[in-house]
Amino acid sequence: MDNKRIKKLLIDLSYPLFVTLIILLAWQIAALTLNVDVILPSPVNAFKQLFDYLGEKDFWLSLGGTLLRSLISFVFSFLIALLFAVLSAINKTAKKIISPFAAIIRSVPTMSVILLLIIWLSPLVAPLAVAVIIICPTLYSAFYGAIDSVDKDLLMMSRVYGVSHKDIIKKLYLPNMAKSMFENTASGFSLNIKLVIAAEALAQTAKSIGKLMQFAKINYEPTKLFALTLASIIVSVALESFIRYLGKISIRWEND
Amino acid sequence: MIELKDITKNYGDIKVFDKLNLSIEENTITCVLGTSGCGKTSLLNIIASITPYEGSILGFSGKVSYIFQHELLLPNLTVRQNLEYVLNEADYPKINGILDMLEIFDKADKYPRAISGGQAQRAAIARAFLFPSKLLLMDEPFSSLDTALKIRLITAFYQIWQKEKRTVLYVTHDIEEAFILSHRVLIMDKGNIVYDVKLDGNPVRDYGQTSADKQEILKKLLSAD
C-alpha cells in the first residue's frame, strides 16, 4: 500500500473515530453530571462490564446464537428479495402483484409483526421470521432498483451485438448492480441484527443477546444493558464495514 | 443491395417516416446527412432492429455492427474486455492490431472512466470493426472529436474499411465529414430523402476541399427545413 493510499485510509478513518469520541465524551459528561450509575452508567463502567462479559461462556454462546439467527434470516431475506426483484424486472404482471404486497408488509408496524410471530411461533424461530418479514420488502425494493438502474443503452448495445444472456447477466447486470447490492446488504444486515435482538428480547429466546438484555432490564442492571448494547453495536459496525470493504474490493473499476 | 421498402414509423402522433423507400449499395460508404431530429438515428435503429417499424428490409439479415452516438462501453470492463464482450474467442487475436491502428493500444487494459471521450469512441469503432458483420451502422461517430483527431481517425477508419469493404451506412449533421468519407451522400429532411448524390473519386478526400458536389450538397442542405 503506497503512502497516498495510507493517508487516504487514515483520513477516512479519522471522521468516524472523531464522531465516536464525541459521543463517548458526551456520554461520560452526562454520566458524571447525573452521577447515578443505576440510571446512566458511565462509558468506562459499561466497557468494564463488556470486558467481564468477554470472559463468560454464556455471553459468547448468546452472541453466537444471535449472530447465527441474524445470518440465517438475512440469507433467507436476501434470496427471497432477489428472486422477487428478478421476477419483477422480467415480468410486469409479477411486479404489479409483488410491489403492493411488499408495500403493505413494509407499512405493518414492526412491533405488531414481532408480537404476533411470538404468539404464533416458538421463541427460537420467531426472531428469524420477524427479521425475514421486515427486511425482505426493503431488500426487494433496493434490489429491484439496482436491476432497473442498469443502463438500458448498454443493454441495447449488447443485444445489437448478439451478446449471450449468460454474459449479459454476468458482465453487465451483476457488476453494475454490485455497488447497490453491497450497500444495501451492509445496512440491511445491521438492521437485521437489531430486529433479531428485539424479537429475542420479547420472545425470551434461549442463548441470545436479546434474552441477556431482557434479564438485565428485569434485574435493573443498566450497566449490563449498556455493555450488551455496546457489544451489538461493535458487532454490527464490524460486519457492516466488512461487507462494505468486500464491495469496495469487488468493484475495482471504480477505484483503479 | 439493401432495400428499405415502405418504411413507416410513428412515435405517438409524430410521424417520422411515411413509406420511406431507400436502396443502399453494398460494399460502399453511404452517408445520410441532415439536421437534428430529421430521422437519421431512427433510420439506423430501424435497420438494427432496435426500433419496431412497418414495412420491409430486403437483401440483409443477420449481424450488424453499430457505432452509437455515445461509445456505450461497459464501465466494469477494460477496453480489451469490452471488445471481447461482443466477440467470439477466435477473434480475440485481432484486437491488438485494430487498437494499434486506432492509436489506443496503450489503453487496452484501462477502464473506460480512465480514458478520454475520444479514446472511448475509438474503442467503440474498434468494437464495430472487429464484430463479424456485413453491415456497419454509424451514428455521428466522430462528432465529439477535435478536427485533427477526426481527420486521423477517418483516415484510419477508411484503411480498415478497405480490407473488408463492408457496407456502411453513416449518419451525421457535419457536411465536411460526409464529404470526406462517403461514396454517396443522401440528404434527409423530415423523414424523406430529398437529395441523393454519388461523389466523384474515393474517400478520404481532403478536409476543407471545395468541389461542385460539396457546393450542391450545401445548397440542398440549406434549402431543407
Q: What angle do CA B223, B196, B28 make, to 5 degrees?
A: 140
Instruction: Please name the residue that has the C-alpha cell 421476477.
Output: A87
Give per-10-residue mean pLDDT for chain B (225 aa).
89 87 91 85 91 88 88 94 95 92 92 90 92 92 82 86 90 86 89 84 73 74 70
Residue B131 domain-assigned? no
- Say how many Å lie between the first and final Cα of chain B, rounded: 29
Question: Is the alpha carbon torsion for A72, A73, A76, A81 positive or negative?
Answer: negative
Nearest to B74 among A159, A162, A171 (CB): A171
Q: Is A92 exposed, middle or buried (0-12, 13-18, 19+ CB in 10 A)?
A: exposed
Contact across the interface for B85 and A254, Cβ inside 8 Å? no
Q: For residue A176, list chain B residues with Cβ-Cβ distance below 8 A.
A: 74-76
Domain count, chain B: 1
Confidence of residue A59 (pLDDT cuts 50, 70, 90): very high
Q: Which residues contact A91 (CB under 8 A, 6 or more apart)?
A: none
Under 8 Å between Cβ of B105 and B112: no
Q: Is A103 exposed, middle or buried (0-12, 13-18, 19+ CB in 10 A)?
A: exposed
Q: For residue B74, list chain A residues with Cβ-Cβ distance below 8 A.
A: 154, 171-172, 175-176
pLDDT for residue A147 is more than 90: yes
Beta-carbon pairs below 8 A across chains A and B: 49
pLDDT in tens, B152-181: 888 888 888 888 889 999 999 888 888 888
Nearest to B85 among A156, A163, A254 (CB): A163
CA atoms within 13 A on the CB side of B59: 12
pLDDT above 90: percentage of residues in chain A? 76
Q: What CATH number is associated with residue B16?
A: 3.40.50.300
Instruction: Please name the residue that has the C-alpha cell 417516416.
Output: B17
Q: Where are the alpha helices (DSSP H) in A3-42?
A: 3-34
By the CB < 8 Å criterion, does B132 face chain A?
Answer: no
* pLDDT, averaged across chain A: 91
Residue B130 domain-assigned? no
Residue B215 domain-assigned? yes
pLDDT in tens, A9-18: 888 888 889 9
Q: How many residues does chain A have?
A: 256
Collapse the DSSP code of B88 into the 3-class scheme (helix H, G, I; strand E, B; otherwise coil) and give the result.
coil
Residue B217 domain-assigned? yes
Residue B35 domain-assigned? yes
Under 8 Å between Cβ of B16 and B42: yes
**Cα(B3)–Cα(B59) distance, integer angstroms:** 6
Nearest to B76 among A158, A159, A175 (CB): A175
pLDDT for residue A39 is more than 90: no
Query: What's the alpha-carbon Rg for chain A, to the nearest Å?
Result: 22
How many other C-beta atoms can be found within 10 angstroms of the C-beta atom of residue B104? 22
pLDDT of residue B225: 59
β partners of residue B189: B192
Confidence of residue A255 (pLDDT cuts 50, 70, 90): low
- Which of A136, A140, A131 has its CA nearest to residue A113? A131
CA-nearest residue to B114 within chain A is: A256
Question: Which of A157, A158, A180 would best serve as a mutation to test chain B binding (most B beta carbons within 10 A)?
Answer: A157
Contact across the interface for A163 and B86, Cβ inside 8 Å? yes
ipTM of the complex: 0.88
Residue B87 domain-assigned? no
- Which of B38, B102, B48, B115 has its CA nearest to residue B75? B115
pLDDT in tens, A164-213: 999 999 999 999 898 888 999 999 999 999 999 999 999 999 999 999 99
Q: What residue numbers bound the domain in which B24 lies? A: 1-59+181-225
Confidence of residue A256 (pLDDT cuts 50, 70, 90): low
Strands (E), B38-111: 54-58, 64-67
Contact across the interface for B77 and A171, Cβ inside 8 Å? yes
pLDDT for residue A1 is more than 70: no
Q: How many residues does chain B have?
A: 225
pLDDT of residue B190: 84
The CATH number of the domain covering residues in A42-254: 1.10.3720.10
pLDDT in tens, A84-109: 999 999 999 999 999 999 999 989 99
- Which of B169, B167, B151, B94 has its CA nearest to residue B126? B94
Q: For residue A256, list chain B residues with Cβ-Cβ distance below 8 A.
A: 111, 114
Under 8 Å between Cβ of B204 and B181: yes
pLDDT of residue B117: 85
